[in-house]
Structure 1
Amino acid sequence: MTLQLPIHDVLDEIRKALEAGPSAVVQAPPGAGKTTGVPLALLAAPFLAGQKIVMLEPRRLAARAAAGRMAEVLGEAVGETVGYRIRMEKKVSAATRIEVVTEGILTRMIQGDPELSGIGLVIFDEFHERNLNSDLGLALTLECQGVLRDDLRILVMSATLDAEPVAKLLDDAPVITSEGRAFPVESRYLPLREPNPSRRDIEAACARAVSKGLVEESGDMLVFLPGAGEIRRVHERLQRMALPPHVDIHPLFGALSKSEQDKAIRPSPFGRRKVVLATSIAETSLTIDGVTLVVDAGLMRVSRFSPGSGMGRLVTLPVSRASADQRQGRAGRTAPGICYRLWNEAHTGTLTPFTAPEILHADLAPLVLELAIWGVTDPHELTWLDVPPQGSCQQARGVLQELGALDAEGRITPHGKAMSRIGLHPRLAHMLLCAKKMKLGPEGCLLAALLTERDPLAGSRKEADIRLRMEAMLARGRSEAPLNASAASRIKDAARQLASRLQIGGSPKESRHAGRLLALAFPDRIAMTRKGKNGLFQMASGSGVFLHEADPLAYEPIIAVADLDGNRQNARVYLAAPLSEEELEADHADRMAREEVVRWNDRKGKVEAVMRHTLGALTLSETPLKKPSPEALTDALIQGIQTRGLSLLPWNKSIRAVQARVLFLRNHAGFDELPDLSDTALATTTDQWLAPFLIGITSMGGLGKVDLAGALTALLPHSWHRKVETLAPTHMTIPSGARIPLDYGNGEPPVLAARIQQLFGLSDTPTVAGGRIPVTCHLLSPASRPMQVTRDLKSFWANTYPEVKKELKARYPKHPWPDDPLTAIATNRTKRKGT
């Protein structure tokens, strides 16, 4: 058989590489024919010895299409020599030698048969897309090859991936490059008029570009948009426009039915043109014949998961340079083409080289579950192109332990093994197993199908209540929005297949248990309304979520959330259902806790003690605690003091004076052994020095009874109780006989304030701290007004007093103003005798 494909030139090289060694890497651009040509060419290779080839495709649509093309080349029906196996669908037989599968299927095959018995070659096609399952599949296949099957061959094929790291991962495997076949494609830039375009701007620009291309160019057209929502809206815009009558518009994305996808892929009938509105699904893994014109919005939608919040969200990002080149190349598969790029030419240089691997940003719960089944608790034990992030793995392990899939050491449990066999996300698998035990299996299958397929309710304004979807599927809908027939059909098929897989009989009858089932899948997303705030909820994980006030669910006290936008602080809820307290108690009692809480209520200014009933971060109820421990009461009161500040304590001048005198001795007199009694130090050590004096006090009002002086004095070494009085006296006796108080301020050297006449005869400045520190003398007039400040009385009498005397004697002539103040008799009198 001769394959008229560019890959034909390197098929012998690929064959020889796999004959000589266990692995190889093929790098070939789209259109080279690698997906169809390589498996067929290797089917008769001696190293296979009659064994099967399993080829992985990143998407279900691509797997079906690849199998169909190869079967057509052989002149057979799909399911004979070439078949496919995807989630909930397969076409294989005993004669099948080439199985095209999606990556999750390979994982199931390896887990079921670690030796991959009867399989001689595993091909990873379109590996550049770096899906989570492809990285996991390659890691497990390498483990199988290295430990159990040294004869197993591995071939990695990619269109744009940097081949060297992959080759190194495969023990320096040879890299075979095919030049491919492509006609020249002219890039034309049609930048949006707005500097920060909205979704409407982008969709309008796409519609204009399609209209322009249909008028100015020939051939079929492929339009790249970020997601299904944009595709539907652009489709509606185009239907409202006056397009030529011979033009057919076909959406193309993963959630469409097989018949709708086939319409988009099939060649246009003679005399007609088609416009295919596609997501990134059409970048590399699909061949759409007849396309000579590409419109690229330059955007892609990817999932980003936050281990910190435990939530994922879809984000719209600029495409990578590799993806932009891939999209452009789709216009040159069969003839010269044109690519309309809806951005400035300079913007191309700012694009990232490659799309980031999904493993670095995805929810890793499915991966961690598969590794546990494989017997691996630490991902580092396997060989990866990019090692899964530790934080994401820890978060995933926590979720799986909460679902009962892993034990405390991270090992798989029987329940976890049963979950893995269902083929859904672990959350939904756990929900289905529980639903079956609860005799709610049919409802669980319908709910799981609704969560994995496209929303069946048409229209953009929808309530978040998932019960509306269930009721619509049960033909008892109370929603005015019409049901999308295609989505409803896929949901029914998915529900039936799940029921068959779990051997669940009967049909779903009602939706009232939806919240209960969702809470089993998402126990961390059980949410309670915040008091007095309709539409605002807190989840068991601690994160906040909200519903629009117009949504009836906004008024429910408890809901279980299935879908939200991933904002950690306040995420918007897209799908949820109400949950009753009885259901919560029945299903989650083992996750609930009762704890004694003694806390400071700052609003009330007192300590309160309650018994709190909790579920994660949620407080289900609180009741007064009759006998809280005295230590807990004191700790809570200290918390209040630290919150409000030391001003709550019963300070007075006497206590502040003690504080200031000790601080003076410590900070200025060199007595380092004394404790730091500054407000700053006291505030940070309240629990150490004040706690013994708070016994029996539970409110702000009761703090007036605290022996604060005793508490501060207790901090002093015992030997210092009298020393403080001696070294930092409260008063000083001066020559006039008066006993004058000393002011230590906030711990500064003390101030002695006295009238000048009271100090006559005092030649040397008084001191404290055992003579170490002179006091600061504030010399007052007879009217007790400050006239002079000095720490050197001898200098004042000799140099300054004569000038002061001149000034004050004229103002206060009846007061004594001796020429020699050092020999004069000090007096407390304000006037001379006889006057």
Structure 2
Amino acid sequence: MSFALPIDAVLPELITALRRAGRAVLQAPPGAGKTTRVPLAMLDAGLTQGRILMLEPRRLAARAAAERMAATLGQRAGETIGYRVRGASAVSAATRVEVVTEGILTRMLQDDPDLPGVGAVIFDEFHERSLNADLGLALCLEVAGALRDNLILLAMSATLDAAPVAELMQAPIVTSEGRAHPVTPVWLDRPTGKQRFENALADTVLRALNEAEGSALVFLPGEGEIRRVEALLKPQLPADCTLAPLFGAMEFKAQRAAIAPVASGRKVVLATAIAETSLTIEGIRIVVDGGRARRARFDPASGMSRLVTERVTRAEAVQRAGRAGRIEPGVAYKLWTRGEEGALAAFPPAEIEAADLTGFALELALWGAEAADLAFVTPPHEGRLAEARTVLQMLGALDDKGRITTHGRHLAKLPLHPRLAHMVARGGPSAPMLAAILSERDPLRGAPVDLSLRLTAAQGRPGGHEPHQGTLARIRQDAKRLAKGTRGHGPDGLGVLAALAYPDRIGLRRKGEAPRYVLSGGKGAVLPEADPMAGARLIVATDLDGDPREARIRQAALISEAELRDTFPDQIAWHDLCHWSRRDNRVLTRQQERFGALVLDDRTWPDAPPDAVALAMLDGVRQLGLKPSPAAARFLSRARLIGQDFPDFSDDRLMATLGDWLLPHLAGIRTAADWKGFDLLPALRARLNWDQQQKLDRAAPAHFRTPLGRDVPIDYSGERPAISLRLQEVFGVTSHPKVVGQPLQITLLSPAQRPVQVTTDLPGFWTSSYADVRKDMRGRYPRHPWPEDPTAADPTLRAKPRGS
């Protein structure tokens, strides 16, 4: 090691900690040199006779770290220092330090849990909290506790809050305070406002190149933004300035060129988060941080992931700025103001909190453990883990008890998402190529959604659209690797293959002109109206934007109904449906042939059982509400007066128990109009047995019988029971009638049925107000009797004959 790095000062302390405890957490700022120094220091110290595995989150970082360490030893990668990543490796029998991507460790553990030949595992850049790193650490901790007490574990991070990880690992923390070189931050004087992001960033890059020396590393969220900023900068950069994009979808050769030093002049590297960690780009003294990060967010409600662009966190900003100080003092230009920095979140979310957990759930099942059995810094959300298990059961990878099946074990061995692994395992010879296409970025950006166009391009046949050659090269390479060891004897139609991977995303076009689809999993999706596939009846949506309301379809394959029936014969069945329709305000009875949420055939069901219709009508009642007739309303008022040992006739209780008391009376009722004419009284009265009905009639009678023998309904809905009747009908009544222990409120009416007096004291009325009423009424109604002494008169409803 010919030059000193800040990490060198703490290497003795780290080696001592690893000797004593067998594990440690190393916290070192960006640029301290931990990635290239620590594995070599462990090797020199002879901590283990086994290989040292170091995990990196990205392929480019893994290869670059291995090559840099090998160069330090004066060797090439594949000798003492080697690497293994997807699609490439450089290892030999002499390899002592092997740099691998994180998923490779999981496969090694699942194949042989005691990790034969491995003496130490280093989790580099653990602050990124990838799903594979979290799972790998959890499995290694269990292995170290149960099988390998001599397995050395080291987690290294630049920005991580180390305490929770150290507590989980029961390990000491070793901290390197030193930074390779100072980095001066430069913030905006004012927010960018309405200026387009790419324009603001390009302006900042030009300013940085004018104010500072050295090459520049510019952080952007994705390839699209990189290409737009590249187009803005090209005509404005000095002639001696090289512009180099750097993102994950590029060929490795182009990625290496982007991080290689230039022979002369300056370089501007436009990079995604791929350049945040474990990469040293020669000559970088300037960082321009656009302040945005693109993350995959999984929405369990839609069952889909989508990429979202968010503000960077403070930890990410620190990590990015540190790239400017690896070789010399540098400067970091930030596309936000100093005041805005305080509003940034501290750390990005762990991938286990935001990602699709289907593959994770399969690994747990293969390990034979529940998530709660393992030690995670951030435990997975149980609800989302249950959603993932549902997908695995749908694919046949788990049985109905959640245990891994033979098919599931086979899927776990394939380096694919379980959906695509299922397609490769069950499909024909085109499946590996299709799996590679669906695992990569779209090679035909801007082309119609038809997946067959991508397959045509990958197979090298002309298709009329210009593909991204680097992406196609990776697709072909991955397809060739996937094809090894697969049988390929299953169905090979493109739509069928896509349906095997996405049985819950088979779409049936809704009625109407717009190309909207209901997916077999129950969600909605929409095609661009101008797309050639917009008229298709049945499709399989293989790529959606993840909108939880109505996802936009970005890639899809055609499938015929015959293919659907041949592929899923056991999942297509007839269903008898009897339900209340809010739209039609009636009970609908249908017989439907369904695949998931898709209705393939729909017929009327004329002989639906009356019991089923009545049960469906209950939902209609819940929507329409109870609408008692006047007689039923009076009954309810009476019944609610009775207290203990009597049924509860409150509205809430009646609605909650509709099935108990109303259902037997709904024969023939199936529309809102039927319900409007339905009399609730018999059903309500049927809630009472004979003794209860007698008690009700005694305590709160339904009618008051007048002296003439006429029954007048008693209204119990007010503060006290009340009736209305003609004044002449109570002549001769000398004591006021009572109901439920209180005086009956009587509204006395004129011969024209208009109120003339309201009283709860009829004798008092006769002796007081009656004389005034009599005086007024005699002139208006001379043909009706108005005796001076109403208490001595006979009740009557008759009038005097005309002329008398």
TM-score category by the smaller chain?
over 0.9
Residue number among 450, 469, 473 corresponding to 2:454 in the alignment:
469
The SS at the match of 2:515 is: strand
Note the C-alpha offset of 1:728.
5.9
1:764 to 707, 726, 735: 735
- The question of 1:540 aligning with 2:520 is answered yes
Shift of 1:805: 3.0
Equivalent residue, structure 1, for 2:688: 716
Structure 1 residue 68: Cα displacement: 0.9
Q: 1:709 to 1:53 in 2, by over 3 A?
A: closer
Q: Tell me what 1:265 maps to.
A: 259
2:541 aligns to what SS in structure 1?
A: strand
Give a deviation string over 1:513-533, Cα, whole Å, max 9, x none. 222111111112222222225
| Residue in 2 that maps onto 1:213 | 208
Query: Is the counterpart of residue 396 in structure 1 residue 388 in structure 2?
Result: yes
The within-5 A match list for 1:814-825 is: 816-825=785-794
Q: Work out whether 1:596 is the aligned partner of 2:572.
A: no
Query: Where do 1:174-185 residues align within 5 Å?
Result: 174-185=173-184
Counterpart of 1:335 in structure 2: which amino acid? E
Residue 419 of structure 1 pairs with residue 411 of structure 2: yes
Which segments of 5 or more consecutive residues in structure 2 lack a partner in the other structure? none
Residue 283 of structure 2 is matched in structure 1 by 290
Confirm or deny that 1:622 pairs with 2:615.
no
3-state DSSP of counterpart to 2:181: coil
Matched with 1:163 is 162
Render the CA deviation track for 1:439-494: whole Å, top value 9, x for unaligned: x22x2122111122222124xx3322211111223344444x42222222222222
The whole-number CA distance in structure 2 between the counterparts of 1:449 and 1:756 is 94
1:12 matched to 2:12: yes
TM-score under structure 2 length normalisation: 0.93
What residue in structure 2 maps to residue 446 of structure 1?
433
- Aligned partner of 1:34 in structure 2 is 34
Partner residue of 2:46? 46
2:635–2:702 Cα contact (<8 Å) kept: no
Letter aligned with residue 439 of structure 2: T
CA offsets per residue over residues 56-88 of structure 1, 9 Å max, x none? Answer: 111000001001101111111111111110012
Map residues 471-490 of structure 1 onto 2, 5 A cutoff.
471-479=456-464, 481-490=465-474
**Structure 2 CA distance for aligned equivalents of residues 504 and 595 of structure 1:** 35
Q: CA deviation at 1:783?
A: 3.6
Match of 2:243 among 240, 249, 261: 249
Task: Tell me how far apart the structure 2 counterparts of residues 384 and 663 of structure 1 sit (CA, whole Å).
Answer: 59
Structure 2 Cα separation of the partners of residues 10 and 704 of structure 1: 84
Distance 2:699 2:488 in 1: 90
Classify the secondary structure of the residue corresponding to 1:288. Answer: coil
- Cα offset for 1:242? 2.8
Pairing 1:573-722 to 2, within 5 Å after superposition: 573-601=553-581, 607-625=587-605, 628-646=608-626, 656-657=630-631, 659-668=632-641, 670=642, 675=647, 682-695=654-667, 710-719=682-691
Whole-angstrom distance in 2 between the partners of 1:573 and 1:671: 61
> Is this contact kept in 2: 1:663–1:747, CA < 8 A?
no
Aligned equivalents of 1:644, 1:704: Cα separation in 2: 9
Task: Look up the match of 1:94.
Answer: 93
CA–CA separation in structure 1 for the residues paired with 2:692 and 2:110: 76
Determine if contact 1:666/1:673 at 8 Å carries over to the other structure: no
Aligned partners of 2:244 and 2:269 also within 8 Å: yes
- List alignment gaps of at least 5 residues for structure 1: none
Map 1:371-390; keep pairs closer than 5 Å: 371-376=364-369, 378-390=370-382
**TM-score computed with the length of structure 1 as normaliser:** 0.90
CA 1:762 to 1:474, structure 2 compared with 1: closer, same or farther past 3 Å?
same
Task: Work out whether residues 222 and 277 of structure 1, in 8 Å CA contact, stay in contact via their aligned partners in 2.
Answer: yes
Which residue is 1:118 aligned to? 117
* SS class of match (1:534): coil
Question: Kindly tell me: are residues 119 and 339 of structure 1, through their superposed partners in 2, closer, same or farther at Cα, counting changes over 3 Å?
Answer: same
Q: What SS does structure 2 have at the residue aligned with 1:302?
A: strand
Output the CA distance in 2 between the equivalents of 1:221 and 1:558. Answer: 50
Match of 2:178, SS state, is coil
Q: Per-residue deviation at 1:600?
A: 3.4
Matching residue's letter, 1:755: R
- Residue 444 of structure 1 aligns with an amino acid whose one-letter code is A
CA distance in 2, matches of 1:183, 1:681: 73
Contact 1:593 1:613 survives alignment (8 Å) = yes
Partner of 1:445: helix, strand, or coil?
Answer: helix
* Offset at residue 411 of structure 1 (A): 2.1
Instruction: Indicate conservation of the 8 Å contact 2:10/2:174, yes or no.
Output: no
Q: Quick check: 2:6–2:176 contact (8 Å CA) kept in 1?
A: no
In structure 2, the CA distance between the partners of 1:258 and 1:723, relative to structure 1 (3 Å rule), is closer
What's the CA shift string for 1:721-747, capped at 9, x where partnerless? 567667666665545x47363353758
Cα pair 2:56 2:102 within 8 Å, conserved: yes
Question: What letter matches 1:693 in structure 2?
Answer: H
What percent of counterpart residues are identical?
46
Counterpart of 2:16 in structure 1: which amino acid? K
Asked whether the 8 Å contact 2:32–2:326 carries over to 1, the reply is no
**In 2 relative to 1, CA 674–43 (structure 1 residues): closer, same or farther, beyond 3 Å?**
closer
Residue by residue over 1:279-301, the C-alpha shift from the partner in whole angstroms, topping out at 9 and shown as x without a partner, is: 11212211112112111111101
Q: Deviations over 1:213-239 (max 9, x none)?
A: 233333111110111221122112223
Counterpart CA distance in 1 for 2:649 and 2:24 is 75
Q: 2:263 corresponds to which letter in structure 1?
A: P
Residues 190 and 339 of structure 1, relative CA distance in 2, 3 Å threshold:
farther
Match of 1:513 among 464, 468, 493: 493
1:556-604 Cα deviation digits (max 9, x unpaired): 2221122212222211121211211122112222333433222234566
Q: Distance in 2 between matches of 1:191 and 1:245?
A: 31
| Distance in 2 separating the partners of 1:175 and 1:328 | 23
* Equivalent residue for 2:325, pick from 308, 325, 332: 332
- Preserved CA contact (<8 Å) 1:223 1:276: yes
Q: Does 1:83 align with 2:88?
A: no
Structure-2 separation of matches of 1:503 and 1:742: 85
Cα distance in 1 for residues equivalent to 2:716 and 2:375: 70
Structure 2 match to 1:408: 400
SS at match of 1:230: helix
User: 1:297-354: CA deviations, max 9, x gaps?
Assistant: 1110111112233211111111111111121222222233222211121111111111
Say whether the 8 Å CA contact 1:3–1:37 is kept in structure 2: no
How many Å separate the matches in 2 of 1:596 and 1:738? 56
Aligned residue pairs, count: 804
Q: Distance in 2 between matches of 1:369 and 1:143?
A: 18
Report the counterpart of residue 60 of structure 1 in structure 2: 59
- The CA deviation string for residues 76-105 of structure 1, in whole angstroms up to 9 with x for no partner, is 111111111001211111221111100001
| Counterparts of 2:2 and 2:233, CA distance in 1 | 43
Tell me: CA distance 1:43–1:744, structure 2 relative to 1, closer, same or farther (3 Å). same
Q: Counterpart in 2 of 1:226?
A: 221
Whether 1:495 and 2:479 are equivalent positions in the alignment is: yes
Separation (CA, whole Å) in 2 of partners of 1:42 and 1:672:
82
Shift of 1:178: 4.9
Residues 117-174 of structure 1 deviation map (CA, whole Å, 9 limit, x = unaligned)? 1111111111111111111111111122111111111111111112222222221334
**1:170–1:193 Cα change, 3 Å:** closer
Residue 342 (structure 1) aligned with residue 327 (structure 2): no
> Partner amino acid for 2:307?
L
